[in-house]
DNA sequence: TAAGATTGACCGCTCAATCTTA
DNA sequence: TAAGATTGAGCGGTCAATCTTA
């Protein structure tokens, strides 16, 4: 019994959850990015990265950092470019392996993060606090943790076309009908 | 609920929820975008837009469409450019007001959406179905609905500058002007 | 004056290709 | 060969400015 039957209600609920996740993310990231940018010249992703870096005082390999915040290696390079230009982060080499380089937060980075966190974390706590009782928030955290992206690595990103009987896709030979070069 | 004192635990839990939301969004959109792009030349946002358009057979004002999917007006223009080039969507003018133009899904758009939905919705239902019992999923939907982005308009996006921003939304019953306001 | 739509400049991020070192 | 990091090209999206019409 490889695949299960998907009832219309299953699809309906999944679709609802997905839509709400998308819209919540869009609304919240836009708001917070605007606030953070205006107040400290940072983005939401910058904060996420700096948060990882303060917890790793000896630095962290860029590829591992990428996995933690769900960016690609090139995405991390680009993001760190900005933080390095702002002197919030610096590079360090690995003595034993010249291929790897570490990202290390600077004192200025720690200070800037501390300042930015004050307002940002308060806004976040207020936003959630206004909407959820403590037990509800705990429940939300637990439920969200089951979604992809919850682990440490990014293995789960490599997602194979699973279940048999997947409609819309002939298994052999059929080239994906690419609609337009966008 | 006026303002309350923010305990360290409040902040902690809010931060956890925020982080999980960010990572779940990053992981899932990347996966689904890759699948949709390969199979049908579409993106997650394209699907969201087409879904709105099939439910509005007479078309919808671009500004209202933007609010629905949480994009800015220019974002909608850009996204529709692609869909129009692929002939999945076409433009229509409002007879009573030459400023507004409507986005209308084409037959090809309906067909492509139908094809793409088959696999995409199944993948979505499978993803959620593997992780949640029906009651849990229902709970997740309800909890997510309380976050910003849950309403119909984008009033909550317009966010005034200043330290203590009010993130309270007023979903309110502002009727989106349907066709021919006259 | 204001509302709707678009454009130009730019940012964040991805993929594919490349370079370097193991 | 493979792993880590970067680069070039390009997409998806934002903001600010502009154009047109009410």
- Per-residue model confidence as pLDDT tens for chain A (182 residues): 445 677 888 899 999 999 999 999 999 999 999 999 999 999 999 999 999 999 999 999 999 999 999 999 999 999 999 999 999 999 999 999 999 999 999 999 999 999 999 999 999 999 999 999 999 999 999 999 999 998 776 555 443 333 333 333 333 322 332 333 33
Which positions in strand C are less than 7 Å from the protein's CB atoms? 3-8, 11-17, 20-22
Which of A109, A99, A90 shows the shortest CA–CA distance to A42?
A109
CA distance B57 to chain A (A): 21
Report pTM: 0.86
Return the residue of A nearest to B85 by Cα: A180
* CA separation, residue A99 to residues A58, A62, A77, A96, A139 (Å): 17, 11, 14, 9, 43
Q: Which residue would you say has higher pLDDT here, A4 or B160?
A: A4
In this complex, the residue of B6, B131, B136 whose CB is nearest that of residue A122 is: B6
Does B95 score more than 80 pLDDT?
A: yes
- How far is C-alpha A175 from the geometric centre of its chain's CA atoms? 32
Q: Which residues of B touch A14 (CB under 8 A)?
A: 121, 124-125, 127-129, 137
The answer to whether B27 contacts A154, with C-beta atoms less than 8 Å apart, is yes
Please tell me which residue lies nearest to nucleotide C20, judged from CA to C1'. A99
**What pLDDT is recorded for position B153?**
64
Shortest-distance nucleotide from A30 CA to C1': D14
Lowest mean pLDDT, pick from A150-159, B21-30, B53-62, B162-171: B162-171
Q: Residue A73 and residue A93: Cα distance in Å, rounded?
A: 17
């Amino acid at each position: 019994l490889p695949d299960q039957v998907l009832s219309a209600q299953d699809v309906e609920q999944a679709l609802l959850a997905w839509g709400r996740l998308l819209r919540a993310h869009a609304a919240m990231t836009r708001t917070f990015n605007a606030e953070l940018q205006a107040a400290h010249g940072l983005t939401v992703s910058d904060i996420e990265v700096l948060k990882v870096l303060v917890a790793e005082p000896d630095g962290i390999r860029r590829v591992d950092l990428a996995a933690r915040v769900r960016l690609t290696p090139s995405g991390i390079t680009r993001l760190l470019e900005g933080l390095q230009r702002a002197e919030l982060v610096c590079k360090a080499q690995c003595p034993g392996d010249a291929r790897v380089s570490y990202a290390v937060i600077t004192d200025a980075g720690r200070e800037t993060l501390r300042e930015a966190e004050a307002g940002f974390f308060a806004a976040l706590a207020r936003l959630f606090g206004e909407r959820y009782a403590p037990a509800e928030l705990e429940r939300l955290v637990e439920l969200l943790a089951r979604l992809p992206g919850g682990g440490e690595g990014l293995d789960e990103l490599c997602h194979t076309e699973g279940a048999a009987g997947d409609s819309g896709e002939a298994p052999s030979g059929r080239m994906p009908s690419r609609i337009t070069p966008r």
